[in-house]
Amino acid sequence: MGGSDEVSAASNDTRPSVIWDNARLVEGQIGKVTILKDTGRLMKESHGDLKLSGTLKKGNTYRVYSYEIIDGVYYYGVGAGVYIKNSSDIFYKTPSAIKKRQMADLVMIKSDLLTDAVNGKLKGQDFIIKKNTIDEVKEKLGEPYEEGLFEGSRYYQYGKKHVYFTVLPDGKELLSSKYLVDSVSDISPLYVKNRLGSASIYREEYSEKDGTWNLVYKTGNNLINFVFSGTEGKERLIYIHLVQQK
Residues 109 and 87 reside in one and the same domain = no
Residues 185 and 159 reside in one and the same domain = yes
What's the pLDDT band for 11 if we cut at 50, 70, 90?
Answer: very low
6: in domain: no
Q: What is the pLDDT of residues 168-212, one digit of tens each?
A: 888 999 999 999 998 888 899 999 999 999 999 999 999 888 889
Residue 9 pLDDT exceeds 80: no
Residues 103 and 206 reside in one and the same domain = yes
Which domain covers residue 143, as residue numbers? 99-244
Residues 118 and 218 reside in one and the same domain = yes
Residues 31 and 91 reside in one and the same domain = yes
Residues 104 and 33 reside in one and the same domain = no
116: in domain: yes
11: in domain: no
Residues 231 and 145 reside in one and the same domain = yes
Angstrom distance (rounded) from CA 88 to CA 25? 24
Residues 222-231: what's their mean pLDDT? 92
Residue 7 pLDDT exceeds 80: no
pLDDT of 10 reads 41
Backbone angles phi, psi at 84, to 5 degrees: -125, 130
12: in domain: no
Mean pLDDT of the chain: 91
CATH code, domain carrying 46:
2.30.30
**Cβ atoms of 202 and 217 closer than 8 Å:** yes
pLDDT of 183 reads 83
Question: Over pLDDT 70: what percentage of the chain?
Answer: 94
Residues 115 and 218 reside in one and the same domain = yes
Q: Which one of 95, 126, 153 terminates a domain? A: 95
Q: Which one of 42, 67, 95 terminates a domain? A: 95
**Cβ atoms of 61 and 34 closer than 8 Å:** yes
Question: Over pLDDT 90: what percentage of the chain?
Answer: 78
2: in domain: no
pTM summary value: 0.83
CA gyration radius, the chain = 22
Backbone angles phi, psi at 101, to 5 degrees: -65, -40
Q: What is the pLDDT of residues 41-92, one digit of tens each?
A: 999 998 889 999 999 999 999 999 999 999 999 999 999 999 999 999 999 9
Number of domains, the chain: 2
